[in-house]
Structure 1
Amino acid sequence: MKILLVGEYNRTHWNLKRGLQTLGHEVLVIGFRDGFKKVDIDIEIKDPLSSRFLKKVRVLIYKFFKIDLLAHSVKKQILSKKDELSGYDVIQLVNESPFLIDLKCQLEILKWLINWNDKTFLLSTGPDYVSVMHAYNKKFRYSILTPYFEGKITNKNFQHVLSYFSPEHKKIHAYLTKTIEGIISNDLDYHIPLIDHPNYLGMIPHAIELSQLHYKTPNLDNKIVIFHGINSKNYYKKGNDIFEQALDLISVRHKNKIEIITVTDLKYVDFIKSFDKAHILLDQVYAYDQGFNALEAMAKGKVVFTGAEQEWLEHYNLEEDSVAINALPDAQNIADKLEWLILNPNKIIEISKNARAFVETHHDHINCAQHYLKKWST
């Protein structure tokens, strides 16, 4: 089968590609390199306006003339690669809006890609119309919109998420709903809003390439190392402020027993190495399930504070705090969980082993690729 994967978040499509190739299929990934993360891509869509000055120029021109310079560049790049991007049996979009450009231009590009190829599928990973609407209507106990509701994030700084309610994006959503073969999600934060959606084909867990992630049994001879990776653009959306409050609390209680490592906005190749010496990794707060960074850390044997809600426990038939620690939006609760691990280091080893086994069982990229092939073939 010939497959085109459009857009990238972390290594969602890249790992799927690797699994599909192992199974004998021809696969290309096209998109941006996911901002500062600089992830792998086969055909990179370049941003000629990436400097701070040119970004300001782009904003000003769009503000006064409603012309998106980046959109025109992306359209030109896509058209120049028409032959490379045509004739695929399946294309899958990583999101309803895989290119971060003017939505009218985005719809035009999506129509090209869909018309140039056979079957089109949509992957729900990251915000889209259905999941954002579900969160906006407060159907989750908490979500990535919670810090927005609490006034931590301004309308301006949350514009990317709010844009999913715009008339322009609703046109994209309506077009895809009537055109694509189906929607697939890859964790419970996107699965739950899609339940009963007429286009929904079900959930396939995030694909993780385990051969690149080596497990090491935690060494607890010295201080317990807690790692906190910050994405400055999503600081409040990920709950980094709550993690920092929790670290302040635990530092007062157990300063001599812990070491805290904090990093900000690392490229993927640097990030994946940066937490090697850590025992505990603080990932994100406002989630029901694990995202990509959490799963990769779990595969390496880290105890991860992330989304591990009751719905996730029930879905995988797990006991609380056995595979990952549910990071609630409560600094005191997180600090208490950290203290429990510090005072019971045997739990770190136990959870570490369980975490690796869980990722091997449910997230192996080749097994996940087989599930995609089944859904694409129905």
Structure 2
Amino acid sequence: MKILLIGEYSRLHNSLKEGLQKLGHDVTILGFKDGFKNYPVDFPLEKKWDSGFLKKIKLALLVFTGFDITSNLTYRQFWKNKNHFNHFDIVQLINENSFFCDYTHEKKILDFLFKHNKKVFLLSAGDDYPYVKYNFEHPENPSIIQPYLAGKIADKDFSNVLKFRTKPFEKLHHYIYENIQGVIATDLDYHITMQNHLKYLGLIPSPMNLDKFPKSELEIIDKIVIFHGINRESYFKKGNDYFKKALEIIKQKYGAKVEILTSENLPYDKFINLYDRAHILLDQLYGHDQGSNGLEGMAKGKVVFTNASKLFEKHYNLSEKVAINGLPDVDYLVNELSLLIDNPAEIIAIGKRARAFIEKEHDYIKIAEKFVAIWQKTNA
């Protein structure tokens, strides 16, 4: 099949592309490179007038005229190359706002894609209208909404989430759902919000290209190495404030027995290699299921503090831990880290189970086969 994947989050579509290519399909990725992470994209889009002095002009223009120059320039980039984005058997959007445009320009792009391709599918793989709506209505559910409601995140820093509560993006949501063949969730956090929807086709876990993560076992010689990777834009969303406080206590408690590595806003290729020496990876706290960084750490056989709730354990029928369920509680995090540091054999055991879990549930070729099966059986 000829397949167009639109958008990139944390290498999800790149891994899927590699799996699909192994199965003999012709695959193209169109979209942004996910900011500083700089993932490879066949047809890269560039967000223009989105920083510095030009952004100030853009915002002034938006306030006085309602015209979004960045959205217009993204649309023009797409339109210039539109002949490369038609006659596909399958198009898959990574999000309800894959092009990061306002309603008018996003709809223009989608109009073309719907009219000139056979089938269009949508992923629920990040913030979107159903996810945001559900979690504001269910604030007890662990999600990125919780630190916002706790007052840790300002509205301007949460705009990419809050936009899905506005009328234009509600309208865009309904327009997309009227035209797609169906929507697929990539983990349990999005599955929860999509259940019972007529267009929902089910959960397919995120793909992991295990060829890029050769199997290896952890080795502890002297120090326990803990890695904390920080993305400043999602600092509170990931619970990094809790991780930071917990690490301060751990460092004081264990001294030279531990080594703590910290990074900020590194490109993907540097980030993924930086924590090779680590035994423990601190990923995120708010949710039920792992994100891509957590999955990659597990593929490398690390003990990952991430989303691994009781719901996750039940869904995958797990009787032993494959990751540590992270909670926004400093005392809890310190206790869980201490148990591992005091019992190095448990670090080795969890690391082995983590790798086995990824091989069983997230292998990129198996996942690609699941996508193909759903795409083919869903009528146009």
Q: TM-score range by the shorter chain?
A: over 0.9
Per-residue CA deviation, residues 323-369 of structure 1 (Å, 9 max, x unaligned), is 10000111110110000000000001001111111101110111100
**Residue 347 of structure 1 aligns with which residue?**
346
- Residue number in structure 2 paired with 1:96: 96
Deviation at 1:256, TM superposition (A): 2.2
Q: Residue 134 of structure 1 contacts residue 140 of structure 1 at CA under 8 Å; is this kept in 2?
A: no
Paired residue total: 377
Instruction: State the 1:139 CA deviation.
Output: 5.6
Give the aligned partner of residue 200 of structure 2.
200
When normalised by structure 2's length, the TM-score is 0.97
Q: Who is 1:181 aligned against?
A: 181
**Greater Cα offset, 56-65 or 351-360:** 56-65
Amino acid at match of 2:121: F
Q: 3-state DSSP class of the match of 2:56? A: helix
Asked if structure 1 preserves the Cα contact closer than 8 Å seen for 2:15 and 2:209, the reply is yes
**1:83 aligned counterpart, secondary structure:** helix
1:337 aligns with 2:318: no
Separation (CA, whole Å) in 2 of partners of 1:329 and 1:38: 29
Q: How does 1:54-73 map to 2 (within 5 A)?
A: 54-73=54-73
Q: Which residue of 2 aligns with 1:131?
A: 131
1:302 Cα shift?
Answer: 0.8
Match of 2:322 in 1: 323
> 2: distance between equivalents of 1:87 and 1:101?
23
Partner of 2:216: 216
Distance in 2 separating the partners of 1:137 and 1:335: 31
- Alpha-carbon distance between aligned partners in 1 of 2:241 and 2:87, rounded to the nearest angstrom: 47
Instruction: Tell me if the contact between 2:290 and 2:307 (Cα under 8 Å) persists in the aligned partners.
Output: yes
Shift, 1:72, TM fit: 1.2
Percent identical among aligned pairs is 45
Distance in 1 (alpha carbons) for counterparts of 2:271 and 2:54 = 27
Distance in 2 separating the partners of 1:140 and 1:129 = 18
Please report how far the alpha carbon of residue 219 of structure 1 lies from its aligned counterpart in structure 2 after TM superposition.
1.8
C-alpha distance in 2 between matches for 1:52 and 1:275: 32
Preserved contact between residue 249 and residue 332 of structure 1 (Cα < 8 Å): no
CA distance in 2, matches of 1:80, 1:328: 47
Amino acid across the alignment from 2:324: I
Determine the C-alpha separation between the residues in 2 that align with 1:56 and 1:345.
52
User: Is the contact made by 2:114 and 2:120 (CA closer than 8 Å) also made in structure 1?
Assistant: yes
**C-alpha distance in 2 between matches for 1:245 and 1:170:** 38
**Does 2:158 match 1:162?**
no
In 2, distance between residues paired with 1:362 and 1:309?
16
1:374 partnered with 2:380:
no
Aligned partner letter, 1:181? Q
In 1: Cα distance, 2:209 partner to 2:49 partner: 33
Superposed CA deviations along residues 73-119 of structure 1, whole A, max 9, x for unmatched, are 11111111111100001100000001122222112211111111111
Q: How does 1:39-50 map to 2 (within 5 A)?
A: 39-50=39-50
- What is the match of residue 364 of structure 1? 363
TM superposition shift of 1:51: 4.3
2:227 corresponding residue in structure 1: 227
CA distance, structure 1, for counterparts of residue 222 and residue 97 of structure 2: 47
Structure 2 residue 84 is the aligned partner of structure 1 residue 84: yes
1:375 corresponds to which letter in structure 2?
I
Question: Residue deviations 1:135-159, cap 9 Å, x none?
Answer: 1112653210000110101112111
Following the alignment from structure 2 to structure 1, what is the Cα–Cα distance between the partners of residues 121 and 142? Answer: 28
In 2, Cα distance between the equivalents of 1:63 and 1:277? 49
Q: Which amino acid aligns with 1:330?
A: D
The code of the aligned residue for 1:59 comes to L
**Correspondence 1:287 to 2:282:** no
Residue of structure 1 equivalent to 2:36: 36
Contact 2:300-2:355 within 8 A present in 1 as well: yes
Structure 1 residue 61: Cα displacement: 2.0
CA distance in 2, matches of 1:90, 1:246: 46
2:327 aligned partner, one-letter code: L
Tell me how far apart the structure 2 counterparts of residues 305 and 37 of structure 1 sit (CA, whole Å). 21
Residue type at the aligned position of 2:294: A
Q: Does the CA-based 8 Å contact 1:220-1:345 persist in structure 2?
A: yes
d(CA) in 1 for partners of 2:192 and 2:351?
A: 28
Contact 2:139-2:146 at 8 Å conserved across structures: no
**1:160 Cα deviation (Å)?**
1.1
- Alpha-carbon separation, structure 2, partners of 1:313 and 1:230: 26
Q: How many angstroms apart in 1 are the aligned matches of 2:161 and 2:376?
A: 32
Q: Which amino acid aligns with 1:173?
A: H
After TM superposition, where is structure 1 displaced by more than 6 Å over at least 4 residues in a row?
none
Measure how far apart 1:38 and its partner are. Answer: 0.4
User: Which position in structure 2 is the counterpart of 1:254?
Assistant: 254
Aligned with 1:3: secondary structure? strand
CA distance in structure 2 between the aligned counterparts of 1:211 and 1:164, rounded to whole angstroms = 37
CA deviations on 1:258-311 (whole Å, 9 max, x unpaired) are 111110001011111111110000000102100101101111111000000000
Q: Say which SS state the counterpart of residue 83 (structure 2) adopts.
A: coil
Unpaired segments of 5 or more residues in structure 1?
none
